[in-house]
Amino acid sequence: MPAFLGTAIISISLALVFYSIGTWAERIQRTLKLWHIIFFLFGLCADTLGTALMSQIASANVGNTDPLHAVTGLLAIILMAIHALWAIWTYWKGNEKAKKNFSRFSVFVWAFWLIPYIGGIFLGASAA
């Protein structure tokens, strides 16, 4: 097992847990709360760390990188960052209607994030 692979897998899996809790709790509660934002930020940090570690591992294995996976992974992190910033802005500056409608974007970002997550599982399983 390459160095840091276990740490990367745990980090990206924690991102799934954090982001799922934040997204679906916000959706179920039908309004944006501060603790949802905290879970979005934990998910973003965990995913960024895991992705950075996976990138280093992939760089060491030249020719073993899937460009589509790399692009969707980067887009997912960008969307997560936009989502977190928008959540912070909506929480502090938005009205109640904005807080209630925010979950539509949350579910979209969460679903998009699943593309590189599931793709990474398949890529990892096929490499083993």
| Burial of 38 per CB tally in 10 Å (0-12, 13-18, 19+) | middle
Domain extent for 43: 5-127
Contact 35, 90 (CB under 8 A): no
| Burial of 30 per CB tally in 10 Å (0-12, 13-18, 19+) | exposed
At residue 110 the predicted structure's pLDDT band, cuts being 50, 70 and 90, is: very high
Dihedrals φ, ψ of 11, to 5°? Answer: -60, -45
Instruction: Measure the CA–CA gap between 46 and 33, rounded to whole angstroms.
Output: 20
CB atoms under 10 Å from CB of 45, counted, come to 16
List pLDDT tens digits, range 37-77.
999 999 999 999 999 998 888 777 766 678 888 899 999 99
Q: Which amino acid, residue 35?
A: W
Q: pTM of this prediction?
A: 0.89
The count of domains in the chain is 1
Instruction: Measure the CA–CA gap between 111 and 121, rounded to whole angstroms.
Output: 16
Which two tokens mark 43?
């998910």
Instruction: Measure the CA–CA gap between 10 and 15, rounded to whole angstroms.
Output: 9
Instruction: Measure the CA–CA gap between 42 and 47, rounded to whole angstroms.
Output: 8
List pLDDT tens digits, range 20-37.
999 999 999 998 999 999
Average pLDDT on 10-25 reads 97
